[in-house]
Amino acid sequence: MSSVMLLGGLAVLAAALLVAGLRWPVLLVLGVLFTMSLDHLGRLGLGFLTANNLLKSATVAAVLLRLVLGGERIRLPAMLLHFVPFLAVAGLASFYSPEYVVAFNSWMRLVFIWVFTLIIANVLRGERELKLVVVVMAVVLATISVLAVVQASQAFSEGLLAIRRLGQAYSVGVRASATFFNPNKMAVHLGGMSILVFAGLPSIRRRWFRLFCFGSVLAGLLAILVSLSRSGFLMVGVAALGFLLSRRHRRHALALILLGLLAVTVILTATPYRDPLLDRFGSFGSLGDDSSGQARTSLLITGLYVFGDGPNALWGTGYKGYTRAMQSHLYPLMSHDAYYHTGIRNGHNVWIAILAELGVLGMLAILLFFATVYREFARLHRSRLSELQRCLLIGLVIYVSAKLVDFNLNPEFEENMFWYALGILGALSLSAANAPTDALPHEPDYQ
């Protein structure tokens, strides 16, 4: 009886979302910003039936229905078109993968993400929609950052107990505690959202809302700081350098850096976070010496062994087949992280995982896609854009560049925030499709 009531409730909710999507698809697209922020590791559901996937599915269904009824016209940005070769290679590789069930499910998820990104690009084409994105993203960033800080503080308290009881290292004890959010995933997610909100600051005219957005970015940075995530730290560093080079954002970037340094000083001197933070920052200089860094290095070398094994060099061992293939090509792993790292289905590096699983064909396909993305950046830079569009374009350049660096530490290629940002880029591309692409007189973005 309870199962029937649950399914009935889900059906009613899905129908309500579908009706809302038929009338206002932008509301569902904006709502995804909140659900994907809470939906890490499927915490708001089970399997595919999560809040995030339910909202995405309703959005896709509503837009497709509008398309059938003649009320919607879908345009395909060239950038997303150039991702189709990678989808084709990954789809074929899922059939000969030793983990074909996992591979096919992962491929279907990637196709679903691609379709939703296409919908984002078409729904957010207008200036008003982009303004709503900045507003909603700032509100979500502030809300989720506060929740993440509270959860991290709880984990820190539990970690201190583990340290005193078991004598563990500080960062290990803190990060091993049970939390609602996955520290690495949440830090990278909040990092991307912070970059895009900060990018829109120069275009905001209302002073109170500009202060709110600035405060939400500060909250995001605090959440990243207490997550003790090296991926998050790296993303913040790349973003800070990029915004300092931008004429539009330099003043805000300097203010944010000064406030950030003040916050770090207070945390290091007046809170118990001093030792775990110093331990985590210091680990950047010893990535090849500590057990975690040695395990990552071993996994990278294992991926190269898999890639170099005969025909694997051309078409790979099969999509998501790294875990099975690595057993016969295993480079000795260090004791601390051996089981932890071999339990995931990649080599903690997107590029090595693609090389091992999809071979040269997959690597060429993904390089073609990112080359198209940067070519689109160059085209949009020469197009006539509004102030908000140009500010977001700068933020997207910085964010995508930061993600390319982050892919060396973070295995999440299907990360929701990354593809949402690509959807915004597609929206800018469609908006400027009819604009002249020759050099236009405007103030330089960088100097």
**Lowest-pLDDT range of 51-55, 99-103, 110-114, 369-373:** 51-55
C-alpha 85: how far from chain center: 22
| Residue predicted with more confidence, 164 or 380 | 380
pLDDT for 352-368, tens place per residue? 888 888 888 999 999 99
Does residue 47 sit within a domain?
Answer: yes
CB 109 within 8 A of CB 414: yes
Does residue 38 sit within a domain?
Answer: yes
pLDDT for 286-321, tens place per residue? 655 566 666 677 777 777 777 777 666 788 888 887
Q: What pTM does this model have?
A: 0.86
Does residue 57 sit within a domain?
Answer: yes
Cα–Cα distance measured from residue 210 to residue 357, given in angstroms and rounded to the nearest whole number? 45
Q: Which domain holds residue 44?
A: 8-63
CB 380 within 8 A of CB 121: no
Helix (H, G, I), strand (E, B) or coil at 415: coil
Does residue 12 sit within a domain?
Answer: yes
DSSP for 313-364, please give it.
HHH-S-TT-HHHHHTTSPPPPPTTTHHHHHTSSS-S-HHHHHHHHHHHHHHH
Does residue 52 sit within a domain?
Answer: yes
Closest CA to 200 of 402, 420, 398: 398
Domain tally for the chain?
Answer: 1
Cα–Cα distance measured from residue 25 to residue 23, given in angstroms and rounded to the nearest whole number? 6
Does residue 41 sit within a domain?
Answer: yes
Does residue 390 sit within a domain?
Answer: no
